[in-house]
């Protein structure tokens, strides 16, 4: 039932109509009534009241709780698909028939409590997803013809200007076109520190503007924001079940009929041993209750979804339980180099000098010519001269030669800046041995028409955390491989610097795919890439992991796992989380089967009562495995 109320817009203060849904307390009311009837029945038994009244009170307790159990049990019987609802229905009615109404009511009541526990666990996981949903504010402030209007995010279209004041959530994805601030993006990327943002920077729905007033031009509508994609994929991941989860489901289907047969067998053996039909039936019913598979059946899905939801809150989007299980068995991690292990930004590593020229002369000449170029090499050279306070000159007659480099005039001299082929084409003398001794990296030759001035060695900048990530994976016993299209000498130097076990260089995209297939023979293989150029290799791996997916829709779609920010240290963290998840799954299954085996044996020889069976073997055990599983939902 809905209740209409008037409230105030959270961002602009204007009145708005909202609806509030009353909490559903019916099931808890049923539990309270059933418990009350059970307690009254026990008191009447102590007072030795007429048996008919005792039965009536216990029956009321059983049927009130049983309204959520008995119909499902009967439908399962009609379809010949016996489940835990059938087991508990049989045990409760059986206890009533043999003159144990208190136990019959207790079985149904306590089983109903275990159902509520399961629902509570599912609600906890749904709350994790709902917490993501609630990151999008219920209203946003937009700018229309110079005035501010408060509206719903669903009504805002691309190109609209959002007004976001300090402390407010950003309602939609967009680009800042006015103002500067810092933004808390932890809800999307897991990054704990605020990120500085200014004009031209991207911001995302669900993040928090911490400091300054900003205006944002909307680039994505509410159903296509990064946040909406995360929510949708986390929700879908619950249906993408792991092999272990599927195996347990198949086991449960054949398990219950076997249990029913075994319970009948135990009762018959008890009769043959001289027990009365009532005592033998009681023993069989106790075994039915103990054998209820709900504890280990619920433990796996709750564990998996808890882990997935917890990872999403930490900036790691896993698309299904199957990938959690796969990652827990990881034997090989393959990394793309450029943009993954490195930032894809060239920097000057060294300058090799020739013919008595100085470092400043070589850098100044190269940067002066490259000032007129937009090539990444040019930007690296200019950055180096700025950093080292090297003066540059004005060049003229600039000419870019594709595949070779650039040529320019300074004063009366023409200078060449480019690769080895550029110098050879212009017949500039080169000392091959001297150049070879310069070291490894991307070589930029600087020369005039007469002689070779020097060789600038560029290298890609390692991404922060690269070495720590490789080291951690090695400590975990995982084989690491670097894949790149770069030359062998560049790849070898990077591989040695970061400490990977192996590297493969000069690879075309299709060769990366072939190599991934080869690596999969050694064990479960993860491929880590930037999500766009590496899409074929990501798809070929057992698990494809895309980095920096917050900036790329294609990355979220292409990969099995998406790291919302470019943080390599999350790779070992993710594998450890997967291992912990499967450890919890194994703990829950082993605990469930062990407890049920022990209590089943005790029930078979008549030591366990129905009270003990439901309290220990069902409800207590269910509570234990759910509590263990929900630990995985915690944000790191």
pLDDT digits (tens, 9 = 90+) for 368-404: 888 877 677 778 888 888 888 888 888 888 887 776 7
Rounded mean pLDDT of the chain?
A: 79
CATH number at residue 550: 3.40.50.1000
Domain span at 204: 140-221
Q: pLDDT per residue over 160-203, tens digit each? A: 999 999 888 888 889 999 898 888 876 665 555 678 888 998 88
Q: Which residue has the higher pLDDT, 277 or 2?
A: 277
Predicted pLDDT of residue 332: 95
DSSP category for residue 175: E
Is pLDDT at 590 greater than 90 in this prediction? no
Residue carrying structure tokens 């379809």: 79
Q: Average pLDDT, stretch 458-487?
A: 88
d(CA 313, CA 188): 7
> What amino acid positions are annotated as catalytic residues?
336
pLDDT computed for residue 101 by the predictor: 83
- Whole-angstrom Cα distance, residue 216 to residue 160? 8
> 569 and 471 in one domain?
yes
**Is residue 380 located within the same domain as residue 477?**
no
Share of the chain above pLDDT 90, in %: 12
- Domain assignment present for residue 65? The answer is no
| Residue 511 shares a structural domain with residue 372 | no
H-helix or E-strand containing 565? Answer: none
- pLDDT confidence of 6, banded at 50, 70, 90? very low
Note whether 336 and 351 are same-domain residues: no
In a domain, 256, yes or no: no
Return d(Cα 93, Cα 84) in angstroms, integer: 14
What's the domain count of the chain? 3
Using a 10 angstrom Cβ sphere, with 0-12 exposed, 13-18 middle and 19 or more buried, the burial of residue 455 is buried
488 and 473 housed in the same domain:
yes
Residue 191 belongs to a domain? yes
pLDDT tens-digit readout, 24-54: 578 888 888 988 998 898 888 788 777 788 8
Of 160, 195, 221, the one marking the end of a domain is 221
Higher local confidence (pLDDT), 542 or 438: 542
- 633 is a domain residue: no
pLDDT in tens, 55-107: 899 999 989 988 988 898 888 888 877 777 877 788 788 778 877 788 778 87
Q: Decide which of 4 and 207 is more confident.
A: 207
Which CATH number is 427's domain given? 3.40.1110.10
Q: What does the pLDDT read at residue 87?
A: 74
Q: How far apart are CA 509 and CA 590, in angstroms?
A: 44
Tell me whether residue 437 is in a domain: yes
Strand ranges of the sheet holding 452-462, from the earlier edge strand across to the other edge: 342-353, 452-462, 442-448, 413-418, 405-410, 396-401
- What is the rounded distance in angstroms from the CA atom of residue 435 to the CA atom of residue 427? 16
Cβ proximity of 14 and 150 under 8 Å: yes
221, 236, 270 - which closes a domain: 221
- Considering only residues 432 and 476, tell me which one the structure prediction assigns the higher pLDDT: 476
Q: Is the pLDDT of residue 593 over 70?
A: yes
Shared domain check, 447 and 506: no
* Final residue belonging to a domain, choices 541, 560, 578: 578
Answer yes or no: are the C-beta atoms of 421 and 447 closer than 8 Å: no
For residue 197 the two structure tokens come to 């943002």
Position 585 in a domain: no
Indicate whether 525 pLDDT > 90.
Answer: yes
Q: What is the pLDDT, as a whole number, of residue 187?
A: 62
Q: Looking at the structure, tell me whether residues 217 and 354 fall in a common domain.
A: no
Q: Is the pLDDT of residue 242 over 90?
A: no
Give yes or no: residues 312 and 385 share one domain. no
CATH of the domain at 217: 2.70.150.10
β-pairing, 543-546 with 524-529?
A: parallel
Structure-model confidence comparison of residues 522 and 305, the more confident one: 522
Is 428 within 8 Å of 416 (Cβ atoms)? Answer: yes
Same domain, 325 and 187: no
pLDDT at 524: 92
Element (H, E) at 458: strand 452-462
| 175 inside domain | yes
- pLDDT tens per residue, range 289-334: 777 666 666 667 777 777 877 787 777 888 878 888 899 999 999 9
Both 391 and 538 in a single domain? Answer: no
Closest by Cα among 328, 575, 572, 331 to 472: 572
Q: Is residue 225's pLDDT more than 90? A: no
In 292-389 the beta strands, taken as DSSP E runs, fall at 316-318, 330-336, 342-353
Tell me, yes or no, whether 485 and 451 share the same domain. Answer: no
Start-to-end CA distance of the chain, whole Å, equals 38
**What's the mean pLDDT in 555-580?**
84
Q: Say if residue 351 is in the same domain as residue 498.
A: no
* Domain-embedded: residue 359: yes
């Amino acid at each position: 039932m809905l209740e209409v109320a008037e409230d105030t817009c959270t961002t602009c203060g204007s009145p708005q109509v909202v609806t509030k849904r009353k909490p559903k307390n019916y099931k808890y009311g049923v539990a309270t009534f059933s418990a009350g009837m059970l307690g009254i029945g026990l008191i009447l038994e102590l007072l030795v009241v007429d048996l008919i009244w005792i039965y009536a009170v216990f029956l009321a307790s059983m049927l009130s709780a049983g309204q959520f159990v008995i119909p499902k049990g009967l439908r399962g019987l009609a379809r010949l698909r016996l489940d835990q609802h059938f087991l508990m229905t049989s045990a409760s009615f059986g206890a009533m028939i043999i003159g144990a109404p208190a136990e019959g009511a207790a079985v149904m009541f306590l089983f109903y409590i275990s159902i509520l526990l399961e629902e509570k666990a599912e609600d906890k996981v749904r709350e994790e997803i709902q917490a993501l949903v609630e990151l999008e504010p219920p209203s946003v402030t937009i700018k229309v013809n110079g005035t501010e209007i408060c509206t719903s995010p669903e009504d805002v279209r691309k190109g609209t200007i959002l007004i976001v004041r300090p402390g407010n959530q950003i309602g939609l994805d967009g680009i800042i076109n006015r103002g500067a601030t810092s933004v808390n993006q932890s809800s999307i990327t897991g990054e704990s520190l605020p990120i500085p943002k200014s004009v031209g920077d991207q911001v995302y729905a669900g993040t928090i503007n911490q400091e300054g007033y900003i205006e944002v031009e909307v680039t994505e509508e509410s159903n296509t924001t990064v946040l909406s994609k995360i929510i949708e994929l986390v929700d879908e991941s619950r249906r993408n079940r792991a092999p272990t989860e599927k195996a347990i489901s198949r086991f449960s289907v054949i398990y219950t009929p076997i249990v029913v047969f075994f319970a009948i067998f135990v009762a018959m053996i008890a009769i043959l041993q001289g027990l009365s039909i009532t005592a033998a039936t009681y023993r069989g019913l106790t075994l039915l209750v103990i054998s209820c598979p709900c504890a280990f059946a619920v433990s796996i899905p709750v564990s998996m979804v808890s882990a997935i939801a917890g990872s999403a809150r930490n900036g790691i989007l896993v698309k299904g339980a199957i990938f959690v299980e796969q990652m827990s068995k990881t034997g090989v991690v393959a990394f793309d180099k450029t943009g993954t292990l490195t930032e894809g930004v060239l920097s000057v590593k060294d300058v090799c000098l020739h013919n008595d020229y100085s470092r400043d002369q070589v850098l100044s000449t190269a940067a002066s010519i490259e000032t007129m170029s937009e090539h990444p090499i040019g930007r690296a050279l200019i950055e180096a001269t700025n950093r080292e306070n090297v003066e540059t000159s004005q060049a003229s007659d600039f000419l870019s030669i594709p595949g070779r480099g650039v040529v320019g005039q300074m004063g009366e001299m023409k200078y060449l800046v480019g690769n080895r082929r550029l110098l050879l084409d212009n017949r500039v003398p080169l000392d091959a041995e001297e150049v070879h001794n310069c070291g490894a990296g991307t070589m930029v030759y600087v020369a005039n028409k007469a002689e070779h001035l020097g060789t600038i060695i560029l290298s890609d900048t390692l991404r922060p955390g690269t070495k720590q990530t490789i080291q951690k994976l090695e400590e975990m016993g995982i084989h690491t491989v670097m894949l790149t299209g770069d030359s062998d000498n560049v790849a070898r130097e990077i591989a040695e610097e970061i400490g990977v076990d192996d590297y493969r260089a000069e690879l075309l995209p299709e060769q990366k795919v072939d190599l991934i297939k080869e690596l999969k023979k050694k064990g479960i293989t993860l491929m880590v890439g930037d999500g766009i150029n590496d899409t074929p290799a990501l798809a070929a791996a057992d698990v494809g992991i895309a980095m920096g997916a917050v900036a790329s829709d294609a990355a979220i779609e292409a990969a099995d796992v998406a790291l919302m920010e470019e943080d390599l240290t999350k790779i070992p963290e993710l594998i450890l989380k997967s291992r912990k998840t499967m450890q919890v799954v194994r703990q829950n299954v082993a605990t469930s089967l062990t407890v049920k085996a022990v209590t089943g044996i005790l029930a078979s020889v008549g030591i366990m009562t129905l009270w003990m069976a439901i309290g220990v073997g069902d409800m207590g055990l269910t509570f234990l495995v759910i509590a263990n599983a929900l630990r995985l939902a915690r944000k790191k």
